[in-house]
Amino acid sequence: MIARTMQAKLQQLATKYPFVTITGPRQSGKSTLAELTFPDYKRVSLEDLDNREFATEDPRGFIATYPSHTIIDEVQRVPSLLSYLQTHTDQERQTGMYILTGSQNTELMEAVDQSLAGRVGILTLLPFSHEEMRHAGILPRMINGEIFNGAYPSIYDRDIEPTDYYPNYIKTYIERDVRQMKAIGDLSKFRRLIKLCAGRIGQLLNKASLAVECGVSAPTVDAWLSILEESYIIHFLRPDYNNFSKRLIKSPKLYFYDTGLACSLLEIRDVVQLDTHYLRGGLFENLVVNEFLKRNYNRGVEPSLSFWHDSSGNEVDLIRTERGVQYAYEIKSGATCSKEYFKGLDYWAKLSGTGADRKTVIYGGEKSMSTSGGSVMAWNDM
């Protein structure tokens, strides 16, 4: 069993609240994490039709069967249950009574916010982080291997080939989760949208272009992107609005929560193909951005990440804000560091009055170093 960084935070929150909710992509390891952290708890899944009917038709009987110390999976399937659970825990006045998991973020959080406000600790678990894989001794030796394999636990726990795993993941996601979330008339066009998104990794979001290429309306693209976002397939990096320049780009940039999934959608069949792929730079950038997300989420901290881009083409790939202080990162997949890599960082630093200690280049090489212009970090030292 591969240890998850989040385990310490999960244990802590369970001593503070009657409920802890773990959300995140399907198959990211939420139930496994909960069972590993609380081995004495019972576990019940509302994905199971019998359990779902029991919780729906007889919620008081369900709670009598599972009065405390229970992991309830896919709790968003029966949102009405949460009101009964809230009344029950208010009467018992204990912490750590229920660990809830769910993989459809909007439905789950709407139900949690409505019924459990002030009574629940909330965590987001993504697939394995670079840090977790390194500590477990399963980190691929080369950067292309990490990009291509992705980070879903089943790839490593069950030794499944990425080319077998991800097509089935997408098929199951579309045929089960999407159909349950929204009525989508043309699944083939929805599949096309997912593939088009993969081809735009690290790029500014252009909804009009996606609508034209998909053959659907702009409102439909909006709705479908929301579905992909709330089910943890894609995420957006928002632009930084600090007014260092009057002509800032206001569109977000698009990324996938997992690069292995993106590679599958791009029909990349092996690591060798990735070497010369036109999107290798974008996939490397996606991998690095995801690591910043995971580092925050695994410690129970809401990420404060953005990028900066003006209409003249000056850009900083990633800005991390911590306690009001901004740190800027340029992300380059090349294995040889160049002074040119600091060009965007230097321009931004001059406008913002930032020193070299807050500028970092993350690149695809093997050697980290400090320079007078800023830090250089190798991919494997992330």
Q: What is the pLDDT of residue 312?
A: 86
Maximum Cα interatomic distance, the chain, rounded to a whole number of Å: 67
> What is d(CA 352, CA 97) in angstroms, rounded to the nearest whole number?
48
Closest CA to 203 of 255, 278, 259, 142: 255
Are 153 and 128 in contact by the 8 Å Cβ rule? The answer is yes
Structure-block tokens of residue 144: 């292309």
Q: Phi first, then psi: what are they for 156, rounded to 5°?
A: -100, -40
> What is d(CA 197, CA 194) in angstroms, rounded to the nearest whole number?
5
Structure-block tokens of residue 22: 């773990």
Q: What is the pLDDT of residue 105?
A: 67
Catalogue all structural domains in the chain, each as residue range(s) with its CATH number: 7-124 (3.40.50.300), 136-284 (1.10.10.10), 307-381 (no CATH)
Residue 313: how many CB atoms within 10 A of its CB? 8
Tens place of pLDDT for every residue, the chain, 382 residues? 789 999 999 999 999 999 999 999 999 999 999 999 999 999 999 999 999 999 999 999 999 999 999 999 999 889 999 999 999 999 999 999 999 998 876 767 887 888 898 999 999 999 999 999 999 999 999 999 999 999 999 999 999 999 999 999 999 887 777 777 776 778 889 999 999 999 999 999 999 999 999 999 999 999 999 999 988 999 999 999 776 666 778 899 999 999 999 999 999 999 999 999 999 999 999 999 999 999 999 999 999 999 999 888 899 999 999 999 999 999 999 999 999 999 999 999 999 999 999 999 999 999 999 999 999 999 999 8
Are 333 and 365 in contact by the 8 Å Cβ rule? The answer is no
Are 377 and 360 in contact by the 8 Å Cβ rule? The answer is yes
Q: Write b or e for each residue in 19-49: b if 16 or more Cβ atoms lie within 10 A of its Cβ, otherwise e.
A: bbbbbbbbbbbbbbbbeebbeebeebebeee
> What is d(CA 302, CA 340) in angstroms, rounded to the nearest whole number?
32
Structure-block tokens of residue 209: 């272009």
Closest CA to 307 of 333, 286, 329, 324: 329
pTM: 0.94
Structure-block tokens of residue 174: 């579309």
> What is d(CA 235, CA 255) in angstroms, rounded to the nearest whole number?
5
Q: What is the pLDDT of residue 246?
A: 62
| Triad 8, 228, 267: Cα angle to 5° | 100
Q: What is the pLDDT of residue 132?
A: 97
> What is d(CA 46, CA 95) in angstroms, rounded to the nearest whole number?
22
Containing 273, the helix (H) or strand (E) segment is helix 271-275
3-class SS at 255? Answer: strand
